[in-house]
Amino acid sequence: MTGSLPLSSLGGAIEFIFSEQTSNVTGGQKVGGFEQAMELTLNQLEVTVLALALALVVALPLGLYLGHKGKGEFILVGLANGGRAIPELAVIALVAALIGVGLVTVAPALAILGIPPILTNAYVGVRQVDRATVDAARGMGMSELEIIRKVELPLAVPTVMGGIRGATIAIVATATIAPLAGVETLGDFIINASIYGDDGRLAGAILVAVLALTLEGLLALLQRRLTSDGLKVKTA
Amino acid sequence: MNSPLLLAAAGEVGSDFFKERSSDTLPCQAKPNEVFCFDWARENIDRFGTPTVQHLELVLISLLLGFAVAFALSLLAHRRKWLQPPLLGATGVLYTIPSIAFFFLLLPVTGIGKDTAIIALAAYTLQIIYRNTMLGLDNVPSSAKEAARGMGYTDRQILWRVELPLATPEIIAGLRIAVVSTIAIATLAVFIGGGGLGTQIYGGGNLTFPTSIFIALAIVLLMALLFDLVLLTVQRLTTPWRKARQT
């Protein structure tokens, strides 16, 4: 593989994505092709969205609430730093070995990676909101819940979305090794080189990279859409 | 909960792991899926030495490489402002591509081995270090720069004697994030044959077993904590005026 020209490898990988071929390693088995590539891409997207949703449900309300109350900063800073230190491979491996394989265990395991960035960014985003603005809202007779929903959250959108984007990148990246725990994602092409060969591995890498960049791009667009025009003027 | 397939796989690796030992029977050998087997850990702790050293090597080289490139880019972008958006975009793309995908994108160019892992890990750190260095340089109060200019400093002197020292806390904050994440992500180097502690989690095409995974995990976390503390100490020592301000 080192001897072959990069460009010819790229050609092989692209061919692998678009047309089914006979595996030259196991012999006879049909691998690759657009259908399988799409199926694995959708599987990876499925487990990513599921894990992200779980992380959001747990971390977003908690982060907003703690930010509103101004409590728990010490724990959140520790959680953010500690969260970065957790090796994804070990988490997936332990879940597979001790709890079980499949979507039901992998999605929560991936969600663990998404919780620290969402939680801390929601907290920081809300804390950054000018206290005078919050007092003004309170003076207008808003309830605490209304203040969070109508004042703090809209003003914190850029930071909150930053956390969600970080979580998404971490989750979609780790979903690549989900085949180790019985969830067939694009990582299958990468990990099972004995079946898919070098073309398959490069094809898997290309598809994973495209998927991650696409998700990041879509979230950046969503962030722009959700950010109020007033905030854009201020930062411009 | 465990599928028969996985149990079989774990059993296989387990027996392979025990093969090197003397033939006396261990209580753990029969149940490789036990949560933590102290007997095995005691007998086999030395097998983590080489992977730990490899892991350190992966992290240190990729971090040095990442820092050198990102720091140079920051100085360049600091002088030529028009470079800032494209550099942020380019490092952002490198950051977003999952490391494991990056390894295999590089495969046709650099092949199997630790070089590929180091390049991918270094590419991952660029955005973190670049962003924080730019943030630090931007946060330097203009009054400090004007005072330096008034004292007759040249642009270069202002950069090295005023701006960079004042930007040190942000630069080191970036390094701390980069080093801790890289230590965790370097476990994935096992997939590209780069060695490191990942080999004790996923070895010979299969997951190892919980005891081995737990020990590897503990070493990774300990390493991250140590590096973080070292950088925090460096930050304290290089910015004595911050401490003076606090007290």
CATH for A80: 1.10.3720.10
Residue with the bigger pLDDT between B1 and A37: it is: A37
* pLDDT tier, B27 (very low <50, low <70, confident <90, very high otherwise): low
Chain-chain contact of A208 with B100 (C-beta, under 8 angstroms): yes
Residue A93 lies in a domain: yes
Give yes or no for B35 touching A (CB within 8 A): yes
Residue B245 has pLDDT above 90, yes or no: no
Query: Span B142-150, mean pLDDT?
Result: 92
How distant is the Cα of B209 from the closest Cα of chain A, in angstroms?
7
CA distance A27 to A44: 27
Residue B33 has pLDDT above 80, yes or no: no
Output the CA torsion sign for B116, B119, B123, B125.
positive
Chain-chain contact of B98 with A172 (C-beta, under 8 angstroms): yes
Q: Let me know: does A67 contact A59? Beta carbons within 8 Å.
A: no
Residues 103-162 of B with CB under 8 A from A: 103-105, 107-112
Residues 201-220 of B with CB under 8 A from A: 201-202, 205, 207-210, 213-214, 216-217, 220
Residue B102 lies in a domain: yes
- Determine the pLDDT at residue A4: 52
CA distance B25 to B30: 9
Residue B24 has pLDDT above 50, yes or no: no
CA distance A45 to A36: 14
Residue B20 has pLDDT above 80, yes or no: no
Chain-chain contact of B105 with A206 (C-beta, under 8 angstroms): yes
Nearest to A180 among B103, B109, B207 (CB): B207
Residue A45 lies in a domain: yes
Residue A140 lies in a domain: yes
A169: CB partners within 8 A, 6+ apart: A212, A215, A216, B95, B96, B98
Give yes or no for B177 touching A (CB within 8 A): yes
* pLDDT tier, B143 (very low <50, low <70, confident <90, very high otherwise): very high
For residue A31, report the phi and psi dihedrals to the nearest 5 degrees: -130, 165
Which parts of chain A sit beneath pLDDT 70? 1-6, 23-29, 233-236
Segment B81-130, tens digit of pLDDT: 899 999 999 999 999 999 999 999 998 888 888 999 999 999 999 999 99
Q: Which residues pair with A20 in a beta bridge?
A: A32
Residue B2 has pLDDT above 80, yes or no: no
Expressed as residue numbers, the domain containing A62 is 35-235
- Structural tokens at position A173: 């990246």
Residue B73 lies in a domain: yes
Chain-chain contact of B33 with A87 (C-beta, under 8 angstroms): no
CA distance A7 to B200: 34
- Determine the pLDDT at residue A96: 87
- Determine the pLDDT at residue B211: 85
A120: CB partners within 8 A, 6+ apart: A63, A76, A77, A79, A80, A163
B9: CB partners within 8 A, 6+ apart: B206, B207
Residue B54 lies in a domain: yes
- Structural tokens at position B117: 């892992």
* pLDDT tier, B29 (very low <50, low <70, confident <90, very high otherwise): low
Expressed as residue numbers, the domain containing B95 is 50-239
- Structural tokens at position B102: 């990056």
What's the total number of domains in chain A? 1
- CATH number of the domain where residue B228 is located: 1.10.3720.10
**CB contacts, 8 Å: B1 with chain A:** 99-100
- Determine the pLDDT at residue B13: 46
Chain-chain contact of B101 with A97 (C-beta, under 8 angstroms): no
% of chain A beyond a pLDDT of 70: 92
**CB contacts, 8 Å: B104 with chain A:** 190, 201-202, 204-205
Closest alpha carbon to A108 in A159, A55, A60, A144: A55
How many A/B residue pairs have CB atoms within 8 Å? 148
Residue B20 lies in a domain: no
Segment B34-61, tens digit of pLDDT: 778 887 888 888 888 899 999 999 999 9
Nearest to A169 among B96, B107, B221 (CB): B96
For residue A203, report the phi and psi dihedrals to the nearest 5 degrees: -60, -45
Burial readout B62-93 (b: 16 or more C-beta within 10 A, e: otherwise): bbebbbebbeebbbebbeeeeebeebeeebbe
Chain-chain contact of B6 with A101 (C-beta, under 8 angstroms): yes
Chain centroid to CA A9: 29
Residue A16 lies in a domain: no
- Determine the pLDDT at residue B5: 42
Give yes or no for B58 touching A (CB within 8 A): no
**CB contacts, 8 Å: B187 with chain A:** 87-90
CA distance B143 to A190: 54
CA distance B247 to B240: 11
- Chain position carrying tokens 């394989």: A101
Residue A164 lies in a domain: yes
Residue B14 has pLDDT above 60, yes or no: no
- Rg of chain B over CA atoms, in angstroms? 23
CA distance B133 to B67: 10
B197: CB partners within 8 A, 6+ apart: A87, B48, B51, B52, B54, B55, B186, B187, B216, B219, B220
ipTM of the complex: 0.85
Chain-chain contact of A97 with B213 (C-beta, under 8 angstroms): yes
Chain-chain contact of B190 with A89 (C-beta, under 8 angstroms): yes
**What pTM was computed for the model?**
0.85
Q: Chain A residue closest to B1 (CA)?
A: A100
Q: Let me know: does B210 contact B33? Beta carbons within 8 Å.
A: yes
B8: CB partners within 8 A, 6+ apart: none
Segment A30-76, tens digit of pLDDT: 777 777 888 889 999 999 999 999 999 999 999 988 888 888 888 88
CA distance B48 to A15: 41
Residue B31 has pLDDT above 80, yes or no: no
- Structural tokens at position A152: 């703090």
Residue B167 lies in a domain: yes
- Determine the pLDDT at residue B32: 59
What's the total number of domains in chain B? 1
Give yes or no for B6 touching A (CB within 8 A): yes
- Structural tokens at position A194: 């004995």
